[in-house]
Amino acid sequence: AQRVTQPEKLLSVFKGAPVELKCNYSYSGSPELFWYVQYSRQRLQLLLRHISRESIKGFTADLNKGETSFHLKKPFAQEEDSAMYYCALSGYQRSQGNLIFGKGTKLSVKP
Amino acid sequence: NAGVTQTPKFQVLKTGQSMTLQCAQDMNHEYMSWYRQDPGMGLRLIHYSVGAGITDQGEVPNGYNVSRSTTEDFPLRLLSAAPSQTSVYFCASSYSPGRGFSNTGELFFGEGSRLTVL
């Protein structure tokens, strides 16, 4: 079964500190992994996807198939990074094309 | 280009009442879906559609109906509201779902509809 686990409900760091939001997944094939972000009073939006291997707003995430993880990292957190972050998984097959979301991690960056 | 538009933004219902949450997109997306967002539960898929005339159930479909008569619209119907359906509902759309999302673009979300059932 497909499953996404985000073990931390809340992560609180100080401005300038490194951030790592954890995401582990369960999927029998080759999944596609994503990070979505929801800033206060805004709609959910895509932050990054593993296949693009890109850095967005200083965030990066590497897919580790051995550990089935897709942790989101940023070396120096900013106050504007405070938001709700969701890790999501999609399968390649048509019937599994829906996104499965984790329960989310609320990131709070203190000044 | 409005993207994904949901109405209403807020609604209060009494137990047993029915209502429809509207969702429209102007991006000609084939795929549309409804999620509910609950504290500590994340987003859970209710129903989805891969094109006009085609709908299917997600993880938590009980108590909800959907239809897809046009590409643009994907309404979510609550037939007899219950307090357990108090939640924030999100509609989302994307291009073809056939090969996951990386080949076809990201999932675009509406602003959400906050529903309270008393």
What is the pLDDT of chain A when averaged over all its residues?
Answer: 89
d(CA A86, CA A58): 17
Query: Is B40's CB within 8 Å of A9's CB?
Result: yes
pLDDT at position B97 is: 54
Query: Is B102's CB within 8 Å of A43's CB?
Result: no
pLDDT at position B115 is: 97
N residues, chain A: 111
**What confidence tens digit (pLDDT) does each residue in B52-61 have?**
999 999 889 9
Give contacts of B10 with chain A, Cβ < 8 Å: none
**What confidence tens digit (pLDDT) does each residue in B76-87 have?**
999 999 999 999
Whether B100 has its CB under 8 Å from any CB of chain A: the answer is yes
The mean pLDDT of A72-78, rounded to a whole number, is 96
pLDDT at position A98 is: 79
pLDDT at position B100 is: 45
pLDDT at position B1 is: 66
Whether A83 has its CB under 8 Å from any CB of chain B: the answer is no
Residue written as token pair 């497909």: A2
d(CA B110, CA B93): 9
Chain B from 6 to 65: CB within 8 A of any A CB: 31, 33, 35, 40-45, 48, 50, 58
What is the CA A59 to chain-centroid distance, rounded?
10
Whether A51 has its CB under 8 Å from any CB of chain B: the answer is yes
The mean pLDDT of A22-50, rounded to a whole number, is 89
Residue B34: pLDDT over 90: yes
Q: What is the distance in angstroms between the Cα of B26 and the nearest Cα belonging to chain A?
A: 17
Query: Is A98's CB within 8 Å of B97's CB?
Result: yes
Residue B102: pLDDT over 90: no
Residue A61: pLDDT over 70: yes
**What confidence tens digit (pLDDT) does each residue in A86-98 have?**
999 886 554 555 7
Query: Is B42's CB within 8 Å of A104's CB?
Result: yes
What is the pLDDT of chain B when averaged over all its residues?
Answer: 90
Burial of B62 (0-12, 13-18, 19+ CB in 10 A): exposed
Half-sphere exposure (Cβ direction) of A45: Cα atoms closer than 13 Å: 10
Query: Is A49's CB within 8 Å of B90's CB?
Result: no
Can you point out the beta strands (E) in B26-99? 31-38, 42-51, 54-57, 64-66, 76-78, 87-94
Q: Which residue of B has its CA nearest to A37?
A: B109
Residue A66: pLDDT over 70: yes
Query: Is A49's CB within 8 Å of B102's CB?
Result: yes
